[in-house]
Structures are given as structure tokens and as C-alpha cells.
């Protein structure tokens, strides 16, 4: 579609895209280099930009332009960039016009300050320092839900931000299948001799860990001309534009797996962001289809690739050469089993594949209870310890290893956590299809070759950006909607072999 009206729509949306990029720069700097004293002014700056961006999206000018474009769609391929841009913009405008601009500004400021207070609270393992800020964030989230009444579930408006088209009931149904099967597998593995992993908890120099991670994501295809990596308290990926994708990692000297797998994980996110079609530049389509699809990419690289035997048959000799004292007497088989050890743990980001989803289910349960006022924020530390014991059989000795371990609530990301588990499920569905299309993929990975894998992901998933909702995209790629079956098959096959 080459019409003045459509070009005007793209111009208006481009301005929103630019503002969002500026907001991302401020958020990235806040979590990497900003001094602690800057939180309040940074919060005010982010609130101002958020409010301006919201007003632009909901302006009469953009809405009139959008309506004119909708009237010109007749005869256009519904899957074309133009038709999808109009559809996605309509969805976002309809969501935004329900939300007052003042709420947007207040929420941006509250979460900006909240993230700074969370970091202080975590550093001192004192939840009380964060409690009043989280209480305010939860009030704002309940208020946000009220803008979308009537709803089927109070959690639906939050989930829809990150997973357009999915309902809370859909997620709970998928989780109900996963929970029983994963608990069954964990109980089965408990009866078998535990694998050794103490060698991962020696001293590994931080610079060497960093350099190894950089080598891995470079080989995966990360474009350093359009991205960079820095340190942060909680690893994350953010995008200032298609030509500037930032990732962060966290290096722990006595935990080899932490930086390594978080680097690969964030690298998977970044590859997705670097792979959108150039035709989507400066539009709402130049982003991931959803957070679950985004997580499918990061968890695929982290686990299905990065924790595979094929991957380490290529990389383990290099790792041994880098750390001869620590790993010289550790065989590749022992290392492979060690990084795939199944053991309930306190920290979500360091948990194994078999127990990871239970961390997510616990958080979903708590988020819903908070929104429904069945739980008070002040009770979270004790509730967290109780639920961790129920779900995983472990209980944190302090807040830093318990309720304060994740930054998401400080950022107001209520509704985000389910996407991690959904990403695991989708990654296995994609992987099943990839293995059919690239029969010798394991052999290619064993030779350190990822080009064909990345090209497949780029052509089937990345190039589309946000043109399709999650269920649409999964259906297009695999032939079925989200199905936990392939993921459960993957877990059972892999871990029964590891614990044979």
C-alpha cells in the first residue's frame, strides 16, 4: 500500500518508536551505569517520555489516520506488512485509549524508583526497604486492570500486555498439564543417584568467564556492530532500535554456569531483535511477537543448544583449556551431566530445566493472590518461604535469595512471569520442527556451526517481528497451537538419559 495516508501513519508511529527507543536508553543506563542518587530524577524523566508517547498513540491525529488506513485494506493480503501493521496498531490503540495519560506517567515514575529501591533492598536482604514501593506498584496494577472491566479474570489485562490473545485460563490449563508431569519426573529422578556438579562452584576468574561467553554468542551470530554487552544486577536484553540491541550479564566468580548460561540466554533474545525484516523498521512490528515467543528463542539457545551434549563436544575442550586447574580432571560426560543436574534450588535463573517451570507457577499463583487482595505485600517474605517449600522442597534463609531475587515486580511487570514457562513449551515445539527440517543439526552443532539454525529461525520466526500473535505464529511454524507435549517428551528423554 503506497498511499499518503499510510505513509502518514508510518511517520506518526515512527515518532512513537523513537520515543520508546529513548525510554529504553534511560532504562538500560539506570540498570548499568547510573549512580544511585539519580533514581528520582530518572523516574521523572521516564514518566515524562512515557506520557508523551502515550498521548501520541492515542492522539486524534493518529486515530483518524488509522481509520482512514483501515478503510483502504480491501483486497490487500491480510498477512502483508501493511495489513498487519494496521491490525497491530489498532490493537494497541484500543488498549491505550482505556488508560489515562496521568496513570502512564505515574506508573513509569513508580517503577523507575521501585527498581532502584529493589536493588538497595536486595543488596541488604531487607524486604521492608522495598515493601512500600511494591505496595504502590500493586495498587497501580489493580487500577490498570480496572480500566479493562469487564474481564474474565483480573489477571487478563496484565497478561495481554505481554501475550496478546492469551487468557489466564489458557495459561492455567497449560500449567496444569505441565505441573503434574514435571513433579512426576522430579520424583522419579530423586530415586536415582545424584550427578556430581561441585566442580562448577570453584573459583573461575571473571574476565575469563566473560571472554568465553563473548566467544560463544559471537559464534551464535550476535552482531557486535549492532549490539553490545554490559554488567547488571539482573541480566536483561533491551533494544534502542534494530541497529542497537543491548544485553547484560552477571558474572559470579564461584559459579561458572551463571554468567555462561545467562549470556547465551540474553544472546538468544538479541538474535531475535537483530533479525526483524528491515521493512518493519520504526513501526510497532519491529519487536517480538510476544514475550513467550521471545523466551522461546532465549531458552532454546540456553537449554536445547547450550546444555546439549553436541554443544559441549565442541566447546568443552576450549573451556578446559581456559580453566585447566578447575576442569582438567573433569570429563566431558561428567561436565555435561553436571550442568544438567536436577536439584530444587532457591534461585529461578539458576534452576535446572526440570524444576524451572515450578518457579514460574509459584510466581503466577502469588501475583494472582496479590491482585485479588487475598495476600498483602507485607506477608510476601513468609508466604514465599512457605510456597517454595511446598513447590520445591527448599526454603530461603534470607529475602535476597527469596522474594527479592527477581526485579520484575519492581518494574511493574505483573503478568510477565508466565511467558518464561510458555517460552519453554514453545521452544520444544519449534525444536521438533527444526530437527525435521535440519536432520543433521546435532552434527552441525557438534562442529560449532550455528549458521543453518540461525537462518531457519530468521526465516520462520525473526523476520516476522510482531506481525502475528503467539498462537498464530506457533500454528504457522509447527502446524499446531501451543502444546506442552513436545516439551514434556524432551524433558523425559533428556533427563532419564542424564540419570540413567
pLDDT digits (tens, 9 = 90+) for 411-422: 999 999 999 999
Average pLDDT over residues 166-176: 95
Residue 390 has pLDDT above 80, yes or no: yes
**Which is more confidently placed, 36 or 78?**
78
**Grid cell in block for residue 480:** 499446531
Per-residue model confidence (pLDDT) at position 36:
86
Residue 500 has pLDDT above 90, yes or no: no
**Catalytic sites, residue numbers:** 266
The whole-angstrom separation of Cα 22 and Cα 87 is 25
Per-residue model confidence (pLDDT) at position 12:
97
Residue 247 has pLDDT above 90, yes or no: yes
Q: pTM surpassing 0.85?
A: yes
* Residue carrying the nine cell digits 515514575: 109
The whole-angstrom separation of Cα 84 and Cα 73 is 10
The whole-angstrom separation of Cα 464 and Cα 275 is 9
Residue 2 has pLDDT above 80, yes or no: no
Across the strands, what pairs with 246? 228, 238
pLDDT tens-digit map of 363-382: 999 999 999 999 999 999 99
Average pLDDT over residues 339-351: 93
Q: How many residues does the chain have?
A: 500
**Grid cell in block for residue 329:** 580432571
Pairing relationship of beta strands 237-241 and 244-249 according to DSSP bridges: antiparallel
Burial environment of residue 106 by CB neighbours within 10 A (0 to 12, 13 to 18, 19 or more): middle
Residue 1 has pLDDT above 70, yes or no: no
Per-residue model confidence (pLDDT) at position 372:
96
| Nearest to 393, CA basis, from 346, 340, 357, 350 | 346
Per-residue model confidence (pLDDT) at position 62:
97
Per-residue model confidence (pLDDT) at position 58:
96
Whether residue 137 contacts residue 380, with contact meaning beta carbons closer than 8 Å, is answered with no
Residue 221 has pLDDT above 80, yes or no: yes
Residue 107 has pLDDT above 70, yes or no: yes
- The pLDDT confidence band at residue 464, using thresholds 50, 70 and 90, is very high
Per-residue model confidence (pLDDT) at position 3:
87
Residue 19 has pLDDT above 90, yes or no: yes
pLDDT tens-digit map of 325-335: 999 999 999 99
Residue 409 has pLDDT above 90, yes or no: yes
**Grid cell in block for residue 76:** 490487500
The whole-angstrom separation of Cα 252 and Cα 233 is 11
Residue 234 has pLDDT above 90, yes or no: no
CA angle at 253 for the pair 447 and 313, rounded to the nearest 5°? 15
CA angle at 462 for the pair 428 and 433, rounded to the nearest 5°? 30
Per-residue model confidence (pLDDT) at position 152:
96
The domains located in the chain, with CATH, are 4-150 (1.20.58), 168-382+408-498 (1.10.1370.30)
User: Which H helix or E strand runs over 228?
Assistant: strand 227-231
Per-residue model confidence (pLDDT) at position 233:
83
The whole-angstrom separation of Cα 485 and Cα 234 is 31
Question: What's the chain's average pLDDT?
Answer: 95
- The pLDDT confidence band at residue 159, using thresholds 50, 70 and 90, is very high
- The pLDDT confidence band at residue 149, using thresholds 50, 70 and 90, is very high
Per-residue model confidence (pLDDT) at position 25:
95
Average pLDDT over residues 238-250: 95
Whether residue 214 contacts residue 229, with contact meaning beta carbons closer than 8 Å, is answered with yes
Residues 6+ apart with CB under 8 A from 136: 110, 114
- The pLDDT confidence band at residue 355, using thresholds 50, 70 and 90, is very high
Amino acid at each position: 500500500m503506497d498511499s499518503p495516508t499510510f505513509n502518514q501513519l508510518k511517520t506518526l508511529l515512527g515518532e512513537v518508536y523513537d520515543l520508546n527507543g529513548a525510554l529504553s536508553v534511560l532504562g538500560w543506563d539506570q540498570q548499568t551505569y547510573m549512580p544511585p542518587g539519580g533514581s528520582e530524577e530518572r523516574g521523572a524523566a521516564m514518566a515524562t517520555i512515557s506520557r508523551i508517547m502515550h498521548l501520541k498513540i492515542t492522539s486524534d491525529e493518529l486515530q483518524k489516520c488509522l481509520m482512514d488506513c483501515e478503510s483502504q485494506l480491501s483486497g490487500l493480503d491480510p498477512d502483508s506488512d501493511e495489513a498487519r501493521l494496521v491490525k497491530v496498531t489498532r490493537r494497541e490503540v484500543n488498549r491505550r485509549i482505556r488508560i489515562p495519560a496521568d496513570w502512564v506517567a505515574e506508573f513509569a515514575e513508580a517503577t523507575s524508583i521501585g527498581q532502584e529501591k529493589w536493588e538497595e533492598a536486595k543488596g541488604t536482604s531487607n524486604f521492608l526497604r522495598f515493601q512500600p514501593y511494591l505496595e504502590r506498584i500493586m495498587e497501580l496494577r489493580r487500577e490498570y486492570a480496572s480500566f479493562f472491566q469487564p474481564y474474565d479474570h483480573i489477571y487478563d489485562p496484565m497478561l495481554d500486555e505481554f501475550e496478546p490473545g492469551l487468557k489466564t485460563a489458557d495459561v492455567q490449563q497449560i500449567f496444569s498439564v505441565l505441573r503434574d508431569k514435571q513433579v512426576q519426573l522430579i520424583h522419579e529422578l530423586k530415586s536415582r543417584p545424584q550427578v556430581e556438579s561441585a566442580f562448577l562452584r570453584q573459583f573461575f576468574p571473571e574476565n575469563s568467564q566473560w571472554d568465553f561467553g563473548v566467544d560463544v554468542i559471537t559464534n551464535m551470530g550476535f552482531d557486535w556492530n549492532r549490539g553490545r554487552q554490559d554488567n547488571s544486577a539482573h541480566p536483561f536484553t533491551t533494544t534502542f532500535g534494530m541497529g542497537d540491541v543491548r544485553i547484560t550479564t552477571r558474572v559470579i566468580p564461584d559459579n561458572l554456569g551463571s554468567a555462561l548460561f545467562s549470556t547465551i540466554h540474553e544472546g538468544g533474545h538479541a538474535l531475535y531483535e537483530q533479525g526483524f525484516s528491515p521493512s518493519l523498521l520504526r513501526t510497532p512490528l519491529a519487536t517480538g511477537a510476544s514475550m513467550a515467543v521471545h523466551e522461546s528463542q532465549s531458552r532454546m539457545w540456553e537449554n536445547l543448544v547450550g546444555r546439549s551434549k553436541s554443544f559441549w563436544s565442541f566447546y568443552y575442550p576450549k573451556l578446559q583449556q581456559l580453566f585447566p586447574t578447575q576442569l582438567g580432571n573433569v570429563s566431558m560426560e561428567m561436565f555435561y551431566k553436571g550442568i544438567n543436574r536436577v536439584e530444587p534450588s532457591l534461585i529461578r535463573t539458576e534452576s535446572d530445566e526440570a524444576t524451572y517451570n515450578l518457579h514460574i507457577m509459584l510466581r503466577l499463583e502469588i501475583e494472582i493472590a496479590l491482585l485479588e487482595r487475598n495476600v498483602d505485600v507485607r506477608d510476601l517474605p513468609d508466604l514465599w518461604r512457605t510456597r517454595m517449600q511446598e513447590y520445591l522442597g527448599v526454603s530461603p534463609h534470607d529475602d535476597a535469595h527469596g522474594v527479592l531475587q527477581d526485579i520484575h515486580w519492581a518494574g511493574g511487570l505483573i503478568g510477565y512471569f508466565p511467558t518464561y514457562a510458555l517460552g519453554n513449551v514453545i521452544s520444544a515445539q519449534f525444536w521438533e520442527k527444526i530437527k525435521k527440517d535440519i536432520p543433521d543439526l546435532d552434527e552441525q552443532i557438534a562442529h560449532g556451526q550455528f549458521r543453518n539454525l540461525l537462518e531457519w529461525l530468521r526465516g520462520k520466526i525473526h523476520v516476522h517481528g510482531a506481525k502475528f500473535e503467539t498462537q498464530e505464529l506457533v500454528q504457522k511454524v509447527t502446524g499446531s497451537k501451543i502444546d506442552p507435549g513436545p516439551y514434556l517428551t524432551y524433558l523425559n528423554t533428556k533427563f532419564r538419559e542424564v540419570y540413567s
